[in-house]
Amino acid sequence: MTVTASLHESLLSRIQTRSARAGVIGLGYVGLPLAMAIASNGFSVTGFDVDPEKIVKIADGHSYIEAVPASLLSEHVREGRFRATVDFSELSDCDIIIICVPTPITKHRAPDLSYIVKTCESIAKSLRKGQLVVLESTTYPGTTDDVVRSILEKTGLKSGQDFFLGFSPEREDPGNRDFKTSNIPKIVAGSGEQASRLLVAFYGAVVTTVVPVSSTATAEAVKLTENVFRAVNIALVNELKVVYEAMGIDIWEVIDAAKTKPFGYMPFYPGPGLGGHCIPIDPFYLTWKSHEYELPTRFIELAGEINSAMPRHVVDRLAEALDMRLGQALSRSRVLVVGLAYKKNVPDIRESPSLKLIELIEARGGTTSYHDPHVASVPATREYLNLKGRLSLELTEQTVTGFDAVLISTDHDQIDYAALAGWSKLIVDTRNAFGRRGIAGDHIVKA
């Protein structure tokens, strides 16, 4: 048996007996739920993060991610199946290292791989023979082999010979009560046959369904394709909304009728813009990479333009409604934005269009406050640092009557829409929250 085969068989055996230790780097919306799923299936897990506050919360059994119950987290910590640290030198104790760090874009829509690069440099400091390194962060095809591999091989160790490398895209959907890490099918690909077998064995022990593909580049393309699909279709209904609006046609009624067709149609819904960690960002990774091949990505770029324009369209509709219904300029108006999170029933504000809406309203002289039952105060964000620390107002009659308009940006189920309709002078609804509940009125405008 060759040395490589021996390393492979040894790690495979430890995976099968659950004696392998996993290390998860990045304990956010992807990493912490993944760490819990791994620990729940009998593995010991060490979590790594640069934020010491997260480490303290984990040690106290306090979950800061809604998808992770505090009871489950505290149980794994108490039983010794999970611990967290800021000490990346402990990566040498891990047999499997999984990278779950952010992959944002720059202002010019170019990939920002700085988090991946820094993480790989940290791994390289303690990389040893026989380890399996897996990237889960969404990125363009070729990143695992061209970026991760090249950094790790600067140690003198070789992928497929001394250590094993793979890619398995995260598929988290915050707020989804039907699907969680353990029952979402897992795409896996290794850099080489032995790495692929290790990924299948490891993730097969953690999730119900594993879907192997032929290469890491293919796996990277799978994730981008999923998000491009959503971005393009959302852009389509956003554009249709604007067109039908001009014609006096309700896009929501059109979609509800169209989705009765049992074949050839899938409903997507318009909104005030795109939010979250995937759809507003990931398609541009493919756009950027396609330039290397001198190939245009016209659909993707056009979809980005349409979706990025939606917050301005909403603010224009708000200004128009204030003028026509109240005879008042936006510059002299107080606006209550309902919903700060990027989607309903979650506290996640990453790339939320609500932040852009607030910025645009205030740039035009309006005054804004917000209410969100899931976001008590605005945390620090890269683009909207000036909003940090703003507090969610309580949704009461006294509060609402003090505003000229209410702008529904996120349709949380926890909101009492009937009461809100009764208290408000003017409502601009970007989510059809009132229409779906059969609440109508001359003061309710869809946007």
Q: Is the pLDDT of residue 1 over 70?
A: no
State the virtual CA torsion across 340, 343, 345, 346 in degrees, nearest 10.
Answer: -70
The per-residue pLDDT for range 228-276, each reduced to its tens digit, is 999 999 999 999 999 999 999 999 999 999 999 999 999 999 999 988 7
Q: Which of 94, 100, 120, 278 is catalytic?
A: 278
CA 247 to mean position of chain CA atoms = 35
Looking at residue 252, its pLDDT comes to: 97
* Domains in the chain: boundaries: 3-214, 250-446
The per-residue pLDDT for range 345-357, each reduced to its tens digit, is 999 998 899 999 9
CA 119 to mean position of chain CA atoms = 20
Looking at residue 88, its pLDDT comes to: 97
- Please state the rounded mean pLDDT for residues 45-71: 95
Residue 120 is among the residues annotated as catalytic for this protein = no
Question: pTM of whole model > 0.75?
Answer: yes
What spatial distance separates the first Cα and last Cα of the chain, rounded to whole Å? 67
| CATH class (in words) of the domain with range 250-446 | alpha beta
Looking at residue 175, its pLDDT comes to: 79
The per-residue pLDDT for range 335-345, each reduced to its tens digit, is 999 999 999 99
The per-residue pLDDT for range 314-335, each reduced to its tens digit, is 999 999 999 999 999 999 999 9
The per-residue pLDDT for range 74-103, each reduced to its tens digit, is 999 999 999 999 999 999 999 999 999 999
| Residue 389 Ramachandran class (φ > 0 left, ψ -120 to 50 alpha, else beta) | left
Q: Is the pLDDT of residue 30 over 80?
A: yes
Q: Is the pLDDT of residue 444 over 90?
A: yes
CATH number of 3-214: 3.40.50.720
- Per-range mean pLDDT, top range of 271-275, 294-298, 430-434: 430-434
Distances in Å between the Cα of 447 and the Cα atoms of 27, 99, 240, 366, 431 are 37, 40, 12, 18, 8
Average pLDDT along the chain: 95
